[in-house]
Every structure is written in C-alpha cells, then in structure tokens.
C-alpha cells in the first residue's frame, strides 16, 4: 500500500509515523508513506499556503492552488483509489472504515487547518471525508496519523501475529477480553485460573464470555450494530 500525505505542517507527522509497528511496516515494504509539504507547491517568496476567508470571519483557510498542484503531481505518477480529506464534518472513522482502506493500493490524505480548506478542493479533488470523532483538532495531521496507524497495522505482514488483528476489539463488534502476563498473583490480584490450565478450548470459551460481558457492560450499542 502507498499513502501520500499532503500537509502544511509535515513535522507533526514525522514522529508518529516513524516508531514501532508503523516504522517496521515501512521498513519491510508493507507500506510506503510519503509526506508532501504544501509550501513546496507555492510560487511566491513567502511560500504562502493560506489566506483569510472570503466574506470575513476568524482563522485562515488553506488556498486551493498548492493542494491542486501537489495532488495533480502525484496523479501524474499513479492512479489513486481514494483522495481523503480529514475533517470533523466527515464520515465517522471506525474499524470497518480502517479495514476498507487497508484493501486499497494508493491513497492520498489531505490535512487541513482547523478553519478548513478552500471548498473547491473538496468539490474538485476529494473522494472521501473522514472524521476521527466529534471534537475539533487544530489541524488534520493528528487525525491523519490516527487513520494511518489503524490502517497500517491491518496490512499483511505488519503484526507479528497475524491472528492478533483479527481478534482485536471492534473487529467483530465486541470489545476484547482482559489480558494478563506474569506473575500469576500480584498485590492479592490473581490471574483467572482458566488461563493457567493450558486448556485452549476452555480458554477460548472464557475469552468469548468475557468479551460479551464487557461489551454488554461498557458498550451495549455495539451489540446491535450490524
């Protein structure tokens, strides 16, 4: 999979994408992530990427030209399955959306300022709009990092244990079962006996019961989701 990120603030993305599993996924070739700085697609001395909104109001709006030029330069190289804009007024990001995106070959993610981007970018380029939740961030960069993290860990060869992603919380609308590691007893709290038996059927049964119990207690809404 190839992910191109279009941003005016490339430094925000560098560290979240260069650690741990996402770093390893890039090293082993599961994903290629390239960050494009919008300032490289300006033509004025000040490398201007934003301007005040027509009609007045607070905040700055990202100009259309650098975004169009950046995206079109990428489209000259390859076709893209999806051009995503991360925005609080997009479709809510869920595990199902992450799974759909993990099946794509080439995607672009455009990050905006909190006041947004010129609407002609949305009309003329964007094919999918994603919100990571009902709150407003100062820009789309952290939202893009969240989307990329959730998608990349689903790619084949990314996690050590391929069953790990399939047994995740949310993968089948259930929360995960509690997990424990050594020691078997700590500060009077004991690891449930069944986990120490080595009886895989009994352990699986216990985990499934725990998943249903946790989901019923914490997120009953998930049980009715299809």
Contacting positions for ligand ADE (CB under 6 A): 86-88, 114, 131-133, 135-137, 140, 143
Return the number of the residue (137 or 148) whose C-beta is nearest ligand ADE.
137
Return the number of the residue (136 or 166) whose C-beta is nearest ligand ADE.
136
> Which residue has 């330069």 as its token pair?
73
Q: CB of 108 within 8 A of CB of 74?
A: yes
Return the number of the residue (150 or 177) whose C-beta is nearest ligand ADE.
150
Instruction: Tell the smallest beta-carbon distance from residue 145 to ligand ADE (Å).
Output: 11
Return the number of the residue (137 or 165) whose C-beta is nearest ligand ADE.
137
Q: Which residue is nearest to ligand ADE (CB)?
A: 143
Closest CA relative to residue 14, chosen from 31, 46, 38, 37 = 37
Q: CB of 77 within 8 A of CB of 105?
A: no
Instruction: Tell the smallest beta-carbon distance from residue 116 to ligand ADE (Å).
Output: 9
Instruction: Tell the smallest beta-carbon distance from residue 216 to ligand ADE (Å).
Output: 28
Instruction: Tell the smallest beta-carbon distance from residue 18 to ligand ADE (Å).
Output: 21
Return the number of the residue (6 or 177) whose C-beta is nearest ligand ADE.
6
Helices (H), the chain: 10-17, 20-27, 64-75, 95-102, 119-124, 141-152, 162-166, 200-218, 220-223
Rounded to whole angstroms, the Cα distance separating 219 from 175 reads 8
Return the number of the residue (69 or 129) whose C-beta is nearest ligand ADE.
129
Any idea how long the chain is? 226
Instruction: Tell the smallest beta-carbon distance from residue 149 to ligand ADE (Å).
Output: 14
20: left (phi over 0), alpha (psi -120 to 50) or beta: left
66: left (phi over 0), alpha (psi -120 to 50) or beta: alpha
Instruction: Tell the smallest beta-carbon distance from residue 108 to ligand ADE (Å).
Output: 15
Return the number of the residue (103 or 136) whose C-beta is nearest ligand ADE.
136
Q: CB of 29 within 8 A of CB of 156?
A: no
Q: CB of 14 within 8 A of CB of 43?
A: no
Instruction: Tell the smallest beta-carbon distance from residue 114 to ligand ADE (Å).
Output: 6
């Amino acid at each position: 999979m190839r992910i191109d990120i279009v941003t005016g603030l490339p430094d925000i993305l560098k560290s979240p994408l260069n650690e741990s599993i996402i770093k390893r996924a890039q090293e082993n070739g599961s994903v290629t992530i390239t960050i494009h700085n919008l300032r490289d697609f300006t033509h004025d001395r000040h490398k201007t990427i934003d301007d005040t909104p027509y009609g007045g109001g607070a905040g700055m709006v990202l100009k259309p030209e650098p975004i169009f030029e950046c995206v079109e330069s990428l489209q000259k190289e390859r076709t893209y399955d999806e051009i995503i804009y991360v925005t609080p007024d997009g479709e809510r990001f869920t595990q199902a959306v992450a799974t759909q995106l993990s099946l794509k070959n080439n995607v672009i993610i455009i990050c905006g300022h909190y006041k947004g981007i010129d609407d002609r970018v949305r009309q003329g380029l964007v094919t999918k709009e994603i919100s990571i939740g009902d709150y407003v961030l100062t820009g789309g960069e952290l939202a893009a990092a969240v989307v990329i993290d959730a998608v990349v860990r689903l790619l084949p060869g990314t996690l050590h244990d391929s069953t790990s992603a399939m047994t995740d919380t949310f993968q089948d609308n259930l929360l995960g079962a509690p997990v424990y590691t050594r020691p078997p007893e700590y500060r009077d709290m004991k690891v449930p006996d069944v986990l120490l038996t080595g009886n895989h059927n009994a352990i699986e049964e216990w985990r499934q019961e725990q998943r249903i119990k946790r989901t019923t207690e914490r997120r009953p809404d998930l049980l009715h989701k299809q």
